[in-house]
Structure 1
Amino acid sequence: MHTLFSLPVFGVLLLGCLSATLAPDQPGASTSTPPPSPAQKRVVFIAGKCSHGPGEHEHKAGCILLAKRLRENVPGIVTEVFTEGWPTRSEALDQAAAVVVYGDGGEGHMINQHLEKVNTLMKKGVGLVCIHYAVEVPKGTPGNYFMDWIGGYFETFWSVNPVWTAEYKTIPSHVITRGVKPFTLNDEWYYHMRFQPGMQGVTPLLTTVPPASTLNRKDGPHEGNPAVRAEISEGKPQHMAWCRERPDGGRGFGITGGHFHRVWADDNMRKLVLNAITWVAKAEVPREGVSSSTPSNDEMGENRCPH
């Protein structure tokens, strides 16, 4: 027996299929999963737009890769990835256990226009993860919020942004560092961040002493200043990743690396960030950390900015 569809019904079905296929690439759209059950943790990734050369600031590709590894390896976590900046859907952050922001910062930081909305989420205990340039916001109200939400931020004329090879010879004991071994990685590692006074509630996770060669540029908003030069000349350790447990019960995590897309192929770097997202969302971090397969060259080439 043959089942016949009328043309109008067939048209609706076809339109629905096309919409589902095209949605992730449309402004403010996302790659999504069904709403979480009460036992699940919903993690929302917000990727900034393309802004740099090939292999740099690949926010969309990085978010999709990390979200996939999180779903595959942490039971109870569901993810949604918004790929074109701040989501336009009013309900996009509803029921989020954690928000991951990976995009350009400074004056153009996507959170700048949504500070009060984000602060309301933070007061409800929602976690916040900021990766690379997303840790930089203007000094003043945005910076003060970031010191509260994640413990610190990149402050111009105080922090610096050199590209260098960081050696993390010792890894402190923390839930976020489970299974993470000492590693060496070349990246644009910001340092001399502006932290909570007295590091209140802040736990450093990646710390080393940058070489003097990282300050071979003239002083400028991102390049150098007397304060950072004095600390490096004295051999004072600098923190490139950290977390904070807030008095409101929420959690935050910041990491200054992530300029180059290639860093997500480093098993220790990837594990640290996956552990951090899991912890910030208040899900269970496995005893040996969130293990995930090393992405292939083909996967590393997926979802990247057109150049």
Structure 2
Amino acid sequence: MNRTFALVAFAIVLLLNGFLSDTTSHAADAHKLVIIAGKPSHPPRMHEFNAGVQLLAKCLESVDGLEVVPVLNGWPQDESVFDDADSVVFYMDGGRRHEIVQEEGRRLKLIDEWAERGVGLGFMHFGVEVVADQAGAEMLRWIGGHYENAFSCNPIWEPTFAVLPDHPVTNGVKPFQILDEWYFNIRFLGGIVGNDAQSIKDTKFQPILLATPSDDVRDGTYVYPKGPYSHIQASAGRAEAVMWTVERADGGRGFGFTGGHFHDNWANDDYRKVVLNALVWSAQVEVPENGIASTVSDSMLEANLDKKAPQKKKPKVKKQAKSE
């Protein structure tokens, strides 16, 4: 009896070891995506970085081969979260006080080290904006472009994305129209306009979301500064990239997405899908032919919102013609 019990116990141990080994192996094989949410800013339902990151992470839970690690309220105190990351994406406020330029450039050097190892990098909404002499060169290397104050502009407008390129990030995405604070006239690498796919210094650049701002949109007002800028008006009729990707010579991937101002836009299936696809693609995980499937409920949109003071003044909105 004792011998039989011992044999059964030994068999159970072997089975458990095999199960744990398989589980560990699966986790080790998964590509790691870290999404960093910025600290609270702006009125309610705008710049809801913490809620947005958690919503996107939930939408990615079922993606095979992907481990998503959301980081809330800015740069993590424990930087071990970046260990073995395949992609790091920043959804946060930018400009002169951008999280990536803090600590006298230490963080920039750290991200540069990731890029040299082929780590994917993504920047969303205000996070796309940096001061050129602080991090402009780095952003051009990492993701191929950045918002530059007084060169780029940030009106609230409603473009139609009628034509989508053949690219994994657009898998399953249908043409859509949506209101957002879409930045344009981005400062792109090599001085390119950014509305054509091309290779620049071993970097493969691809515009993803293209739309042509109407003259009313170009004439302002912009969110800040109000504008208008003569060089923006002078480019009337030109298509503008408001989302793009790059494939870098180091093997890493990068993307910029200038939308993400209004939290409730995550309810739009195609708007959400193009971002989910970009997140997965940046981590070197294959995007399904029909894109990343997800659904968002009202309760998901209401979850994890930051506590903010009520909005006192509604932003001015420019309606975009549907003929684009």
Q: What TM bracket, shorter-length normalisation?
A: 0.7 to 0.9
| Number of residue-to-residue matches in the alignment | 270
Q: Secondary structure at the match of 1:71?
A: coil
Partner in structure 2 of residue 204 of structure 1: 207
Name the structure 1 match of 2:233: 229
- Name the residue aligned to 2:243: 241
Match of 1:276 in 2: 278
The match for 2:65 among 76, 85, 88 is: 76
C-alpha distance in 2 between matches for 1:147 and 1:224: 25
Gaps of 5+ in 2: 1-23, 195-199, 309-324
Structure-2 residue corresponding to 1:41 = 31
Counterparts of 2:27 and 2:222, CA distance in 1? 53
Measure, in 2, the Cα distance between the counterparts of 1:302 and 1:218. 30
Alignment TM-score, normalising by the size of structure 2: 0.80
Give the alignment partner of residue 108 of structure 2, picking from 115, 119, 122.
Answer: 115
Look up the equivalent residue of 2:39 and give its one-letter code.
Answer: K
1:68-88 per-residue CA deviation (whole Å, 9 max, x = no partner) reads: 11122x101111111110001
For residue 284 of structure 1, report the CA deviation from its aligned partner: 1.0
Deviation readout 1:50-72 (Å, 9 max, x if unpaired): 11111000000000010111122
Residue number among 267, 270, 277 corresponding to 2:269 in the alignment: 267
Counterpart residue number, 2:170: 177
CA contact (8 A) 1:139 1:155 kept: yes
Aligned 8 A contact 2:47 2:260 in 1: yes
Q: Which residue of 1 aligns with 2:151?
A: 158
Higher mean C-alpha deviation, range 257-266 or range 37-46: 37-46
Residue 37 of structure 1: CA displacement? 3.0
Structure 2 equivalent of residue 20 of structure 1: none
When normalised by structure 1's length, the TM-score is 0.84
Question: CA separation in 1, counterparts of 2:275 and 2:155?
Answer: 21
- 1:223 CA displacement: 3.6
Once superposed, what is the RMSD of the aligned Cα atoms? 1.8
The percent of aligned pairs where both chains have the same amino acid is 39
2:66 is aligned with 1:64: no
Cα distance 1:36–1:92, how it changes in 2: closer, same or farther (>3 A)?
farther
Question: Match of 2:141, SS?
Answer: helix
1:53 pairs with 2:46? no
Is 1:145 the counterpart of 2:176? The answer is: no
DSSP-derived class of the 1:96 partner: coil
Aligned equivalents of 1:53, 1:36: Cα separation in 2: 41
In our comparison, the structure showing a higher alpha carbon Rg is 2
Stretches of 4+ moved more than 6 A in 1?
A: none
**Could you give the per-residue CA deviations for residues 64-121 of structure 1, whole angstroms, max 9, x where no partner exists?**
010111122x101111111110001131211101111101000111111211111111
